[in-house]
Amino acid sequence: MADNPASIFFLHGNEIAVTIRLTPKASQNRIIGIDADSEGNPLLKVTVTAVPENGKANDALLRLLSKTWKLTKSSLHIVRGTTDRRKIIVIEGEAARVRAKLEGWVKQNG
């Protein structure tokens, strides 16, 4: 796991973003935790039960994140990686407020 959990969130333009490593066709919808890719960049590992066809896994991912983070699904956007397991998701809203909320979630959920 990455040493600095808060570092999974970063600025993308004027909004907060997070890198996700998504595993579709899993046994459950779940946020596994914070990890790092092969280059040491932090990311959030997530599994969903949906298949990676016709955007079903991406939709399940956005539903899971919006429910978990208590955000509207419409405030989450995949800006990179729609057909890849590695995705960058931007969270709409005032950056400082969104980041504080998400970092608080990380602290509570380790």
Q: Where are the extended beta strands (E) located within the chain?
A: 9-12, 15-23, 30-36, 42-47, 76-80, 86-91
> Which sequence spans correspond to the domains of the chain?
5-102
* pLDDT 10s digits, 73-101: 999 999 999 999 999 999 999 999 999 99
pLDDT at residue 109, as a whole number:
83
Residue 83: CB partners within 8 Å, gap ≥ 6? none
Predicted TM-score (pTM) of the model is 0.90
Per-residue pLDDT tens for 3-54?
A: 344 468 999 999 999 999 999 999 999 999 999 989 888 999 999 999 999 9
The Cα 50–Cα 67 span in angstroms is: 16
28 backbone dihedrals φ, ψ, rounded to 5°: -155, 160
Class of domain 5-102 (CATH, top level): alpha beta
pLDDT exceeds cutoff 60 at 1: no
